[in-house]
């Protein structure tokens, strides 16, 4: 019972009008479109397509409702919209969270499947470039809320999550 | 089946989601989803906001203390013998009262049939190995995690009967791999 109560509290109702509803509807159509057929394929027990593993498409978005109810939307994954329709790229954009902690900016990136030594991080002023080499190629350029001092960078990597701490540049108004 | 066409696409750097008639529909819908997501951001006319307000908004959305729960929503698209397979993930769910951000996140998964076994790959970034619990009930694999601040849960439908007693799992860098031999398999 108490558990259930706690769960209710954790729910946050989104008030984004019909737009998000639209995304939900579309995804349902997307699943519905292939549902019947996939069941059939599964019954044959042959659903590993070699070579397509790498080309698996991932599309995601993260949403945070900020000041004045304005949503901040970030997209991640490897499906990119092009003029000729969506394509699956080889490089994945990771899911990234940014936190401003006063003097320090904290960047949290989800890089599941990557070895620590495969990760490369570069910082210049207020731009952080993150990439990984190996089986999973992640890449992302992140705009920070203020310029930082690259020499102060501290990183930790554990269970597929990379945390980067950077001190803001001295004398910066931000 | 035009295996040649598929091979050709696989070799390319980018796979066109407009592959065949089935993919055409999926590609179109994915395009619409991306358009809608971009539309959410475009609801705000950024050009009308002055630099101070923009900086303020950027700070506000990046402050941990003031941060509201973060919603994640997504899907993966794979191909099963040329037929698209869509799996949603994330913690944004539809309810009768509209979409909500849940504390529990559905992970990104992949299920592979390896002949004599079923293998399942689950992405659980941020989770400690000791916090992962798996259980096979009938033809469903139940997966839950209890790491603080990172709660994932998923019920995975298995393509056939498996031998639960022979479950093997391996966890590294936020990726869990499970192997379940099929019942009656060699």
User: How far is A114 from chain B, CA to nearest CA, in Å?
Assistant: 6
Region B126-155 average pLDDT: 92
Q: Is A102 helix (H, G, I), strand (E, B) or coil?
A: coil
Q: Is the pLDDT of residue B168 over 90?
A: yes
Q: Which of A146, A149, A141, A145 is nearest to A166 (CA)?
A: A149
Region A53-79 average pLDDT: 71
Q: Is the pLDDT of residue B154 over 80?
A: yes
Give every strand in the sheet of B108-113, ordered side by side. B108-113, B117-123, B175-181, B168-172
Closest in A11, A58, A161 to B108, CB measured? A58
Decide: B178 and B119 in contact? Cβ < 8 Å: yes
Q: Is the pLDDT of residue B130 over 90?
A: yes
Position A116 confidence tier, pLDDT thresholds 50, 70, 90: very high
User: How far is A118 from chain B, CA to nearest CA, in Å?
Assistant: 12
> Is the Cβ pair B101, A97 closer than 8 Å?
no
Closest in B27, B83, B100 to A41, CB measured? B83
Over its C-alpha atoms, chain B yields an Rg (Å, rounded) of 21
Position B148 confidence tier, pLDDT thresholds 50, 70, 90: confident
On whether any CB of chain B is under 8 Å from the CB of A20, the answer is yes
Note the pLDDT of residue B42: 52
Name which of A9, A15, A19, A23 to mutate to probe chain B: the one with the most chain B Cβ atoms within 10 A of its Cβ.
Answer: A23
> Is the Cβ pair B83, A110 closer than 8 Å?
no
Contacts of B8 in chain A (CB under 8 A): none
- What tokens were used for B84? 């698209």
> Is the Cβ pair B83, A34 closer than 8 Å?
yes
Q: Which of B90, B35, B92 is nearest to A26 (CA)?
A: B35
pTM greater than the 0.80 cutoff: no
Residue range A76-109, pLDDT digits in tens: 888 876 666 667 788 899 999 888 888 999 999 9
Q: Is the pLDDT of residue B182 over 80?
A: yes
Residue range A150-163, pLDDT digits in tens: 999 999 999 999 99
CA atoms in the 13 A half-sphere facing the CB of A139: 8
**Of chain B residues 133-152, which have a CB less than 8 A from chain A?**
none
- What tokens were used for B69? 């729960």
User: How far is B135 from chain A, CA to nearest CA, in Å?
Assistant: 21
Note the pLDDT of residue A28: 54
> Is the Cβ pair A14, B82 closer than 8 Å?
no
Position B162 confidence tier, pLDDT thresholds 50, 70, 90: very high
Q: Is the pLDDT of residue A13 over 80?
A: no
On whether any CB of chain B is under 8 Å from the CB of A122, the answer is no
Distance CA A153, CA B48 (A): 35
Contacts of A10 in chain B (CB under 8 A): 69, 102-103
* ipTM entry: 0.72
Note the pLDDT of residue B6: 40
User: How far is A96 from chain B, CA to nearest CA, in Å?
Assistant: 11
């Amino acid at each position: 019972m108490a558990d259930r109560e706690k769960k209710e509290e954790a729910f946050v109702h989104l008030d984004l009008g019909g737009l998000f509803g639209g995304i939900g509807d579309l995804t349902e159509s997307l699943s519905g479109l292939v549902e019947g057929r996939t069941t059939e394929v599964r019954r044959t027990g042959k659903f590993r397509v070699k070579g397509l593993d790498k080309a698996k498409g991932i599309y995601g978005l993260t949403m945070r409702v900020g000041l004045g109810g304005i949503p901040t939307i970030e997209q991640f994954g490897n499906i990119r919209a092009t003029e000729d329709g969506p394509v699956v790229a080889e490089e994945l954009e990771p899911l990234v969270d940014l936190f401003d902690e006063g003097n320090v900016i904290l960047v949290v990136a989800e890089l599941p499947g990557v070895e620590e030594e495969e990760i490369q991080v570069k910082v210049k002023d207020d731009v952080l470039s993150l990439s990984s080499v190996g089986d999973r190629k992640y890449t992302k350029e992140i705009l920070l809320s203020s310029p930082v001092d690259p020499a102060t960078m501290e990183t930790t990597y554990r269970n597929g999550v990379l945390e980067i701490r950077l001190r803001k540049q001295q004398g910066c108004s931000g | 089946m035009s295996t040649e066409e598929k091979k050709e696409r696989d070799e390319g750097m980018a796979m066109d989601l407009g592959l065949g008639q089935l993919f055409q529909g999926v590609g179109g819908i994915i395009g619409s989803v991306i358009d809608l997501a971009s539309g959410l951001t475009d609801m705000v006319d950024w050009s009308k906001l002055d630099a101070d307000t923009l900086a303020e908004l950027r700070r506000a959305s990046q402050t941990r203390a003031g941060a509201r729960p973060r919603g994640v929503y997504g899907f993966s698209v794979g191909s099963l013998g040329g037929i698209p397979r869509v799996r949603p993930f994330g913690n944004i769910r539809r309810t009768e009262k509209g979409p909500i951000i849940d504390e529990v996140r559905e992970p990104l998964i992949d299920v592979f049939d390896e002949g004599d076994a079923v293998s399942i790959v689950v992405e659980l970034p941020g989770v400690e190995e000791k916090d992962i619990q798996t259980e096979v009930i009938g033809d469903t694999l139940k997966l839950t995690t209890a790491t603080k601040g990172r709660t994932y849960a998923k019920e995975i439908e298995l393509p056939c009967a498996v031998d639960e007693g022979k479950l093997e799992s391996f966890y590294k860098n936020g990726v869990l791999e499970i192997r379940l031999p099929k019942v009656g398999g060699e």
